[in-house]
Amino acid sequence: MIDVDHLVTLSAVRRTGSIGGAASHLGYTPSAVSQQVKRLERRVGGAVLERVGRGVMLTELGRHLVDEGAEILDRLEALESGLGRVAGGPVSGAVRLVAFSTAVRGLVAPTLRALADTEPLLEVTVVEHDPHEAIDLVAGGSADAALVHNWGELPLPFPEHLEVLALGTDTADVLVPADHPLAGRGPVDATAFADEPWVCAPPGSVCDGWLTHMFDLHGRRPDIRHRAMEFSSQVGLVSEGVCVGLVPRLGREELPASVVPVPVTDPVPTRRVMMTWRRTMAPSPAIGRVREELLRVAGERLDRA
């Protein structure tokens, strides 16, 4: 009989395009992945991989195994996920959670504190990732659930086998130096900052997409002079008076006296915060308990979705 672990490994190779990528994805060494592939080839009587440049691709036999095995792996994951519900008793197990930076500070940290008190047998680990990467990790099986966000109506690519729950909305303000002419003002039209030098997350990030979109609505382009992934770095640049920045309220650290938040309108910069997991993990009491606690915390710290 074909070893299920070998199917999982082959699926990871297909998803990542390399032995090394599959090893990183699964937490194995490249040698261990190669050995599993060789054992699978001996079992099925043919090559399942072929070299293509520096990477590998599946042969027709390999593609057949992954395609036909996908449903089997999904059913096994759903079966395993539901064991705790059937057996009853305290919630236990491990949940691999990925989340964007401000959600780690504003939502995940208090959630983990609460779960540590109420669910001592439940182990939740968290890794910080951008929303696009987080979705890929959950979709591919490297993580069990993720917290992601999207600004306004900008879409996020959720595969069909993921379930999505809206937790609430978060609002961002434009941070300006304390001596800025707009510091202390009420809601200000976004175009008031059209000629300002900006700091923003790197190109391709969700935050960069929103800032650009916000000005596109007015036929303008923001003058992005500086790039910084960490919001604390952006605050530091604003504090020195060299730029302004769009920073969300969720998880925002206490601002120094040299930085003032200015509410923005037309459009109001809001983002939807969501939790996502594979549909096959839905029966898991562990996923359900994490979801329940995140909803509670989000109810205290976010606006209603």
pLDDT, residue 77, reads 67
Say whether pLDDT at 106 is over 80: yes
pLDDT, residue 127, reads 94
pLDDT band at residue 84, thresholds of 50, 70 and 90? low
Say whether pLDDT at 82 is over 70: no
pTM (two decimals): 0.78
Point out which residues pair with 133 in neighbouring strands: none
Mean pLDDT of the region 31-50:
86
pLDDT, residue 305, reads 62
What burial letters (b/e) apply to 4-31, b meaning 16+ CB within 10 Å? eebbbbbbbbbbbebbbbbbbbbebeee
Side chain identity at 18, as an amino acid letter?
Answer: S
Say whether pLDDT at 25 is over 90: no
pLDDT, residue 288, reads 93
pLDDT band at residue 147, thresholds of 50, 70 and 90? very high
Mean pLDDT of the region 129-157:
89
Alpha-carbon distance of 266 to 249, in angstroms, equals 18
Q: Could you report the per-residue pLDDT of 58-72, keeping only the tens digit for each? A: 888 888 888 887 787
Say whether pLDDT at 267 is over 80: yes
Q: Is the pLDDT higher at 27 or at 231?
A: 231
Say whether pLDDT at 43 is over 70: yes
Q: Could you report the per-residue pLDDT of 212-250, keeping only the tens digit for each? A: 988 988 899 999 999 999 999 999 999 999 999 999 999
DSSP state, residue 173: E
pLDDT, residue 88, reads 61
Mean pLDDT of the region 113-133:
93
Say whether pLDDT at 98 is over 90: yes
pLDDT, residue 299, reads 95
Mean pLDDT taken over the chain: 88
What burial letters (b/e) apply to 208-220, b meaning 16+ CB within 10 Å? bbbbbebbeeeee
Say whether pLDDT at 86 is over 60: no
Nearest to 190, CA basis, from 248, 249, 270, 268: 268
pLDDT, residue 85, reads 60
pLDDT, residue 287, reads 94
Say whether pLDDT at 142 is over 60: yes
Alpha-carbon distance of 149 to 37, in angstroms, equals 37
Say whether pLDDT at 102 is over 60: yes
Alpha-carbon distance of 114 to 108, in angstroms, equals 10
Say whether pLDDT at 186 is over 90: no
CA angle 11, 145, 213 (to 5 degrees): 100
**Residue for token pair 């969700």:** 206
